[in-house]
A = this chain, B = another copy of it.
Amino acid sequence: MPKRVDHAERRTEIAEALLRVARRHGLHAVGMRDVAAEAGVSLRLVQYYFQTKEKLLLFGLELLAERFGERVSARVRAAGDSPGPRVMVEALLMAALPTDDESRTFHHLYTSYAVLSVNDPALAAQPFIKHPDAAEDALTELLRQAQEAGLLEPGADARLEAAGLLAMSAGLGTSILVGQRSPESATTVLDHHLNRIFRTGKAVLT
């Protein structure tokens, strides 16, 4: 019964199914048939909307990055009403830590994609440069504002601090993912580091 259907929407549904099954069994283990079953459609349809598996994976990565970017910026915006810029900085860094299921999924799959991109250049190295760069720019801007407001320690370099903070957050995220570190211990580490960048150490991570 082919009523005219919205391709973009359908592709998104299928890609979401891809991400769900990838979270459950690992990205390396997803097959076209699994995605089809998860999405509740036939294998043929997955082929129809994405011609090849590689295109499906690529679209899945874009969707993943987009969704997570929205999540982070939403949290930062929500923290925008708060007293100091530090709250926004914390919101940005905390949103990236795998503390709940959504961010855990993101970390897991994003890292999976990153690993694949090392040997498969076709698998967009772009997202692994563009998105982190955007995050770094945003965080740098937040820190620069804090610096102009005199909230940072002297000698702080906004761009370098931003890069360091994001790298630390990513590294802590991986530690949490593999079970080496608890989310609480990770936030403690991050908080301690922020305390040495910000002049007033009053704000505390939740």
B residues within 8 A CB of A174? 111, 114, 170-171, 174
- Contacts known (A167-B168, A171-B170, A196-B155); A118 close to B24, Cβ less than 8 A: no
Q: Once the chains bind, are B167 and A128 in contact (CB under 8 Å)?
A: no
Instruction: Answer whether residue A8 sits at the interface, using C-beta atoms and an 8 A cutoff.
Output: no
A186 to B164 Cα, complex, angstroms: 9
B residues within 8 A CB of A66? none
Q: Could you say how many copies of this chain the assembly holds? A: 2
Q: Which residue of B lies closest to A28 (CB)?
A: B28
Per-residue contact bits, chain A 20-57, to B (CB 8 Å; 1 contact, 0 not): 00001111110000000000000000000000000000
B residues within 8 A CB of A151? none
B residues within 8 A CB of A168? 164, 167-168, 171
Q: Of A9-17, A74-82, A84-92, A187-195, which binds chain B?
A: A187-195
Q: Once the chains bind, are A172 and B178 in contact (CB under 8 Å)?
A: no
B residues within 8 A CB of A188? 160
A181 to B129 Cα, complex, angstroms: 8
A185 to B133 Cα, complex, angstroms: 13
Total interface residues on A, using CB and 8 Å? 51
Q: Which residue of B lies closest to A160 (CB)?
A: B192
Instruction: Answer whether residue A157 sits at the interface, using C-beta atoms and an 8 A cutoff.
Output: yes
Q: Once the chains bind, are B178 and A125 in contact (CB under 8 Å)?
A: yes
Q: Would you mind naming 19 contact pairs between A and B with Cβ atoms under 8 Å apart?
A: A24-B119, A25-B119, A117-B178, A118-B178, A128-B178, A128-B180, A153-B196, A155-B196, A160-B188, A160-B193, A163-B181, A164-B189, A166-B171, A167-B168, A167-B171, A167-B175, A168-B168, A170-B174, A196-B197
7 further interface pairs, Cβ-Cβ under 8 Å (given A26-B118, A29-B119, A155-B196): A114-B174, A128-B180, A157-B192, A160-B188, A163-B181, A167-B189, A170-B170
The 9 closest A-B pairs by CB, nearest first: A167-B171, A171-B171, A170-B171, A26-B119, A128-B178, A168-B168, A28-B28, A167-B172, A160-B192
